[in-house]
């Protein structure tokens, strides 16, 4: 594989950039693989990459119905953070932060990781207390957290509404300085390019039609491009989890919902942090191109539509304008939607299943993008070793049965609880 | 914007309604011995169908009645609405 560097850039510039290698191949599916990963999104690509890199398992195929990186990894708000209170979430996410910090070097692909910091705004004394508690929990787990008072927040984001007579005054906030953003497409492409180089077959335009299961054991998968045998199969299909689960006669603690995001027209640099509104569900950052990137609540009812509905967008942007009134002057450039695998406690599932050789990675709710490296790393471990790693032990499928819920916010599929 | 036909009030905009989830889930009978699995299926496990889906909505800013709606989860087409006490046929 051609290494990307300033030298390769200069060299290829001399031949008008006509001689770059393909970033990944377009192979015909083989009859059999050691591992098949279903879903060519961020998590699936990362899983294949870590299977090859950490476990030397390279007879692997990723099968993707559309094109790689065309689902949620290509349509999120790119926020990366580990500001969780519960140990299971905090340690998992912080492990991911380490992978993020060296991802560009590891993948030889600039993912534009920008640790600009995230601020969760507080709008009451009670909320400040909750944030102090969460911040302390984070620091006990080795994650940076800073509790800011009103004046400290004002210094960082003076464009927020600090006037006296507002419905949700800013009391302060909790900041994780090491949180940030990254270029989402580059993450998918970087993982794909390295996985392909190590021998992983990336098979696009290949839809899963069914599974070959006998005597409680998975033998393979039936696809639109023929049957593929595999000893182990990993599901990384986010919003399509319920559809594939139905083909496996499984009913999961997951509902599929639609989450919207939008960007404004590009403006001059104004916001150098990720900021979330504490009295509702709204988050904002500014992209390198200058667009304000915004998102918030689910549309609120089961949906596979991959496009949003206006009442939710209006609701979310009302919160945005309450927080930063200047947003009302901006024109909307684009809005879009993606389908989320909403778990019932708001935390993901990375686990084995009752079918031998079938592994499940789903339930990412609002936070799938930031989990991409840690999810791929732990899922690869779970598949390769046929047992969960301690980092994803809390993300078990049977926690809903045993009562060990990971209710970080207790949200799950019920938007009205917030 | 969805337009939902409330069986009590007629066609109203989605803004007047709140969502209540899968309408086919049945609470296990009171006082009867049930397994953990039955309880899981009631509380957590959902089919979340792509296509025709019976679901509960409440006409919160209207008559406040709970209703059943059959909607396509991919196209948002609404086929039928029923009163809460009417059985899904």
Query: Which has more confidence, A351 or A306?
Result: A351
Q: Which residue of A has its CA nearest to B45?
A: A253
Q: What is the pLDDT confidence band of residue A339, given thresholds at 50, 70 and 90?
A: very high
What's residue A416's pLDDT?
54
Q: Would you state the pLDDT for residue A388? A: 97
Tell me what pLDDT residue B59 has. Answer: 97
Contacts of A344 in chain B (CB under 8 A): 43-44
Nearest of A18, A72, A81 to residue A374 by alpha carbon: A81
| A380 conformational bin, left if phi > 0, alpha if psi -120 to 50, beta if neither | alpha
Residues of B numbered 21-60 whose beta carbons fall under 8 angstroms of chain A's beta carbons: which are they?
21-22, 36-37, 40-41, 43-50, 53, 55
Distance from CA of A192 to the nearest CA of B (A): 29
Residue of B nearest to A415 (CA): B19
| A254 to chain B, closest Cα gap in Å | 6
Q: Which CATH class is domain B3-25+39-83?
A: alpha beta
The two three-digit tokens of residue A269, written as one number: 């640099």
CA-to-CA dists, residue A375 to A68, A71, A368, A371, A379, angstroms: 17, 16, 9, 6, 6
pLDDT bucket at A418, cuts 50 / 70 / 90:
very low
| pLDDT per residue as tens digits for the range A222-262 | 999 999 999 999 999 999 999 999 999 999 999 999 999 99
Please name the residue that has the structure tokens 């593929």: A228
% of chain A beyond a pLDDT of 90 = 95
What does the pLDDT look like over A264-297, one tens digit per residue? 999 999 999 999 999 999 999 999 999 999 999 9
* Residue in A with minimal Cα distance to B70: A302
Please tell me the predicted confidence (pLDDT) of residue A417: 53
Q: What is the chain B residue with the closest CA to A305?
A: B74
In terms of CA atoms, which chain B residue is nearest residue A252?
B45
Inspect the interface and report whether the beta carbons of B48 and A300 lie closer than 8 Å. Answer: no
Q: Which of A242, A303, A344 sits opposite B44 (nearest CB)?
A: A344
How does A281-292 read in b/e, with b if 16+ C-beta sit within 10 Å? bbbbbbbeeebb
Q: What local confidence, expressed as pLDDT, does residue A221 receive?
A: 98
Confidence grade of residue A122 (pLDDT, cut at 50, 70, 90): very high
Residue A97 corresponds to which tokens in the numbers above? 């932060």
The model's pLDDT over A27-82, given as tens digits with 9 standing for 90+, comes to 999 999 999 999 999 999 999 999 999 999 999 999 999 999 999 999 999 999 99
Question: CB-CB: which of A254, A310, A401 is closest to B1?
Answer: A310
Q: Which two tokens stand for residue A65?
A: 């119905």
Which residue of chain B is at minimal alpha-carbon distance from A341? B48
Q: What's residue A20's pLDDT?
A: 94
Which residue from B minimizes the CA distance to A241? B48
Residues of B with Cβ-Cβ distance to A309 under 8 angstroms: 1-2, 14, 76
Nearest Cβ partner of B45 from A251, A304, A416?
A: A251
Q: What is the mean pLDDT of residues A317-321?
A: 97
Distance from CA of A413 to the nearest CA of B (A): 9
A-chain residues near B46 (CB < 8 A): 242, 251-255
Place of tokens 């590009």: A266
C-beta atoms of A416 and B1 within 8 A: no
Provide the number of CB pairs (under 8 Å) joining chain A to chain B: 69
Give A101-159 as a DSSP string: HTHHHHHTS----B---EEEEE-SHHHHHHHHHHHHHHHHTT---EEEEHHHHHHH-TT
A407 vs B69, more confident: B69
Nearest to A302 among B41, B43, B73 (CB): B73
Longest pairwise C-alpha distance within chain A: 68
Does A415 have pLDDT greater than 90? no
pTM value is 0.96
If you average pLDDT over residues B62-85, what whole number do you get?
97
- Six-digit token pair at A58? 């390279």
With cut-offs at 50, 70 and 90, classify the pLDDT of residue A1. confident
Task: Give the pLDDT of residue A408.
Answer: 87
pLDDT band at A103 (very low <50, low <70, confident <90, very high): very high
From B47's Cα to the closest Cα of chain A, the distance in A is: 6
Beta partners for residue A283, in sequence order:
A276, A295
The answer to whether the CB atoms of A255 and B19 lie below 8 A apart is no
For residues A262 and A389, the answer to whether their CB atoms sit within 8 Å is: no
Any CB–CB contact under 8 A between A396 and chain B?
A: no
Q: Are residues B40 and A253, on separate chains, in Cβ contact within 8 Å?
A: yes
Residue B75 CB burial class (10 angstroms; 0-12, 13-18, ≥19): exposed
Of B1, B44, B47, the CB nearest to A246: B47
Cβ contact B46–A311 (<8 Å): no
Interface test with B, best of A247, A255, A302, A314 (most B CBs within 10 A): A302
Task: Calculate the alpha carbon distances from A149 to A128, A159, A164, A168, A367 in Å.
Answer: 9, 16, 15, 15, 27
Please give the Cα distance from A360 to A349 (Å, whole number): 7
Give the mean pLDDT of chain A. 96
**Between chains, do B48 and A242 touch, taking CB under 8 Å as contact?**
yes
Indicate if ipTM > 0.90.
Answer: yes
């Amino acid at each position: 594989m051609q290494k990307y560097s300033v030298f390769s850039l200069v060299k290829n510039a001399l031949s008008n950039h006509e001689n770059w290698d393909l970033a990944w191949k377009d192979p015909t599916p083989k009859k059999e693989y050691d591992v098949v990963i279903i879903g060519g999104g961020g998590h699936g690509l990362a899983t294949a990459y870590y299977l090859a890199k950490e476990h030397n398992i390279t007879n692997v195929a990723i099968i993707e119905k559309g094109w790689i990186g065309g689902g949620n990894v290509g349509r999120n708000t790119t926020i990366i953070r580990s500001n969780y209170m519960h140990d299971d979430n905090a340690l998992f996410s912080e492990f991911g932060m380490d992978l993020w910090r060296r991802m560009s070097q590891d993948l030889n692909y600039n993912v534009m990781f920008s640790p600009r910091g995230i601020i969760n705004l507080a709008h009451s004394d009670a909320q400040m207390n909750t944030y102090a508690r969460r911040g302390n929990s984070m620091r006990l787990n080795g994650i940076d957290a800073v509790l800011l008072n009103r004046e400290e927040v004002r210094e960082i984001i003076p464009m927020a509404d600090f006037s006296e007579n507002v419905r949700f005054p800013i009391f302060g906030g909790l900041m994780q300085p090491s949180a940030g953003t990254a270029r989402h497409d580059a993450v998918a492409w970087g993982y794909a390019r390295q996985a392909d180089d190590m021998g992983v077959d990336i098979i696009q335009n290949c839809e899963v039609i069914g599974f070959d299961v006998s005597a409680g054991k998975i033998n393979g998968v039936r696809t639109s491009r023929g049957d593929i045998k595999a000893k182990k199969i990993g599901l990384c299909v986010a919003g399509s989890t319920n559809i594939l689960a139905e083909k496996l006669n499984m009913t999961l603690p997951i509902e599929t919902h639609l989450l919207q995001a939008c960007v404004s027209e590009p403006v001059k640099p104004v916001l150098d942090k990720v900021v979330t509104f504490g009295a509702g569900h709204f988050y904002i950052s500014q992209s390198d191109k200058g667009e304000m990137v915004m998102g918030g609540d689910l549309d609120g009812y089961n949906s596979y539509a991959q496009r949003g509905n206006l009442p939710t967008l209006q609701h979310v942007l009302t919160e945005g304008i309450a927080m930063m009134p200047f947003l009302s002057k901006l024109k909307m450039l684009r809005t879009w939607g993606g389908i989320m695998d909403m778990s019932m406690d708001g935390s993901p599932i990375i686990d084995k299943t009752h079918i031998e050789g079938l592994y499940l990675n789903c339930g990412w709710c609002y936070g799938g993008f930031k989990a991409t490296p840690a999810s791929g790393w732990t899922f690869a471990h779970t598949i390769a070793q046929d047992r969960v790693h301690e980092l994803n032990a809390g993300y078990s499928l049977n926690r809903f049965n045993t009562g060990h819920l990971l209710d970080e916010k207790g949200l799950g599929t019920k938007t009205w609880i917030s | 914007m969805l337009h939902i036909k409330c069986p009590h009030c007629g066609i109203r905009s989605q803004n007047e309604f709140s969502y209540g989830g899968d309408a086919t889930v049945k609470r296990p009978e009171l006082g009867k011995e049930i397994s953990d699995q039955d309880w899981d299926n009631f509380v957590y496990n959902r089919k979340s169908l792509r296509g025709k889906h019976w679901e509960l909505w409440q006409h919160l800013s209207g008559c406040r009645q709970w209703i059943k709606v059959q909607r396509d989860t991919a196209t948002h087409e609404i086929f039928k609405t029923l009163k809460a006490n009417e059985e899904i046929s």
